[in-house]
A and B are shown apart, each in its own frame.
Chain A
Amino acid sequence: MKTLGQESPLQQGMARRQFLRYAGTGAAMAAGVLTIASCSKDHSATVTNDHVDLGSGDIAILNYAYALEQLEAAFYIQVAASPYANQSTYEKSLFTDIRDHEVAHREFFKAALGTAAIEGLTPNFSTINFSDRTSVLAAAKAFEDLGVSAYNGAGYMIQKVDYLALAGKIVSVEARHAALIRNLISPGSFADSTAVDANGLDGAKSPKDVVPIANTFLSGKKILAPALGIY
């Protein structure tokens, strides 16, 4: 597995530049902690004072998925616990199902990662009005579309075929969720041009694009992953 020391000189230079830029804007204390995290050749996740490091290699990808599933599970737990006004029985049953799927995904990654698992993250859903159907559905759509794009975009980074198979088993369930939520918002919008391109391809986003979005829903410790180029 690759560590920073094995990167090409160009990549190393890039990493160092980005790292220094980050460190320069951050607090001096944080920079000290980050140096330790960045130089770590350990593949397991590292917890720093104010960040959670996903680790490297397949562990990083699994922790990345675990982090996203933690967010989704927390979101749907709140949706189910405090239903929006005039929620139909049908919608209530759908949200209960989705909550249970996301909790199962979260618990699965936690069990599969064992001691390499990142800690529990603290979500911050202050931008979502849980008593309003429109707000909840919009947030659900954003989470599900993002989740699908995240799995699609990280699939090729997975080195072990068994892990790729597991990601495949989960991403299609996320896509089923995304389509359902979209149909609840507007019937027939399950895979419209905002989700699927002219070639009939769904979204694919790199961890570099997804993590900053996920971080906006976290209070306290944010996610970083130097091994994935996320500082």
Chain B
Amino acid sequence: MNLFNIIDEIQNVDPEFQERISPRRDAIKNMTGFGTKLAAAALPFAFSALFKKAYGQTTSSVNDVLNFALTLEYLEAYFYNQGLAQGALIPSADKGYFTTVAGHENAHVAFLKSVLGSNAVSSPTFDLTAKGAFADVLTNYNTYLAVAETFEDTGVRAYKGQAGNLLGNQIVLTAALQIHSVEARHASAIRYLRASKGATIKPWITGSATVYNDTGISAVNASYFGENNISQGGVDITSLNAVSGKTTYAAAVEAFDEPLDKASVLAIVSPFIVS
């Protein structure tokens, strides 16, 4: 393991890396003196320390985020692969939507696994009925669409909830944000499809003072808790000027998606995980 080659490589993708690890290049000089005193076996730890200094994150905390994301992507990929494999589930007119979404989820799995390498967790075994809560998920298209919608909306919230753990990390945060917005595109498209089947649903999550779950499916309430928040960074969005009058409650809810913490997301997906 050549630590200095690694620094060079990071420097290639993150030109400010050396600036991050120290206000001045002295850090590298310091590392040289430091490194000669270390046994080769200890180098990974030194590397880890360097990462922590650069981004305020340990490699293990970044891996935790990535493995959490990978687990969600495994579930989504399995869900769409299974859906497409059922001959009679998805109407042919809508197949293109699901082929696109499935392609991305499989790509996310492959991408995250390649980034994590040997640190990647393996796929759990899934039960798409969530212990019977969605018993006809693979035979009733409406149920399938409803579960797809909640998976995508939850995925958006899950990535959003992890962004802070990747603060300032050009490589990993940027990739996570790039996945996050793809999940949001999926969510919008699935909602658009549901609307085309007659469901009262918008491409964006709406709500009111009393309604946080706009899907009409109470079984997925946990995926939408808090989505009707209207206070952003200390600003009450309904106090802001709109084109006429003040911003409506619904617009204030729609204009900002809300994050969800890891524990809440895991509680939502746990019924789908057998082992």
Q: Does B bind A? A: yes
Given A77-B243, A105-B255, A107-B247; A200-B177 close (CB under 8 Å):
no
Q: Which of B180, B188, B235 has the most CB of A within 10 A?
A: B188
Contact A100 to B247, CB < 8 A, known contacts A94-B203, A200-B105: yes
Asked whether, in the complex, the Cβ of A178 is within 8 Å of the Cβ of B252, the reply is no
Give chain A's interface secondary structure class. helix
Encoded as 1 (CB less than 8 Å from any A CB) or 0, chain B from 230 to 271 comes to 001101010011110001100110111111000000000000
A188-210 contacts to B, CB under 8 A, are: 188, 190-192, 195-196, 198-204
- A42 located at the interface, meaning its Cβ lies under 8 Å from any Cβ of chain B in the complex: no
Contact A196 to B256, CB < 8 A, known contacts A112-B233, A168-B163:
no
B247-A188 in contact (CB<8A): no
Cβ of A83 within 8 Å of any chain B Cβ, yes or no, is no
CB neighbours (8 Å) of B105 from chain A are 200
- Is B251 within 8 A of A101, CB to CB? yes
Residues of A within 8 A of B240 (CB): 104, 107-108, 111
Binary CB contact string for chain A from 98 to 122 against chain B (1 if under 8 A, 0 otherwise):
0111011101100110000000000
A183 at the interface (CB under 8 A from B): yes
Task: Decide if A188 touches B259 in the complex (CB within 8 Å).
Answer: no
Tell yes or no: B52 within 8 A of A by CB.
no
Are A164 and B19 within 8 A (Cβ)? no
Q: A108-B240, A172-B181 are in contact. Are A156 and B203 (CB under 8 A)?
A: no
In chain A, positions 157-187 with a C-beta closer than 8 Å to chain B are 158-159, 161-166, 168-180, 183, 187
Contact A173 B186 (CB under 8 A): no
A91 is an interface residue with CB less than 8 A from chain B: no
Task: Say whether B32 faces chain A, with CB atoms less than 8 Å apart.
Answer: no
Cβ of B189 within 8 Å of any chain A Cβ, yes or no, is yes
Which residues of chain B from 164 to 180 have any CB-CB distance to chain A below 8 Å in the complex? 164, 167-170, 173-175, 177-180
Q: Which of B175, B178, B232 contacts A166 (CB 8 A)?
A: B232
Cross-chain contact B248 with A196 (CB below 8 angstroms): no
Q: Is the CB of B235 within 8 A of A108?
A: yes
* Nearest A residue to B169, CB-CB: A156
Q: Would you call B211 an interface residue if the criterion is a C-beta within 8 Å of the partner chain's C-beta atoms? A: no
Bound form: Cα–Cα A105–B182 in Å: 20
A165 touches B178 (CB 8 A): no
Distance (whole angstroms) from the CB of A108 to the closest CB of chain B: 6
B256's nearest neighbour on chain A, judged by CB, is: A169
> Which residue of chain B has the shortest Cβ distance to A192 in the bound complex?
B100
A80 to B244, CA, bound (A): 13
Hey, which bits of chain B sit against chain A, CB under 8 A? 19, 23, 25, 96-97, 100-101, 103-108, 110-111, 156, 160, 163-164, 167-170, 173-175, 177-189, 192, 202-204, 232-233, 235, 237, 240-243, 247-248, 251-252, 254-259
8 A-B interface contacts by CB (under 8 A): A108-B240, A156-B174, A168-B257, A175-B184, A179-B192, A191-B186, A196-B185, A199-B111
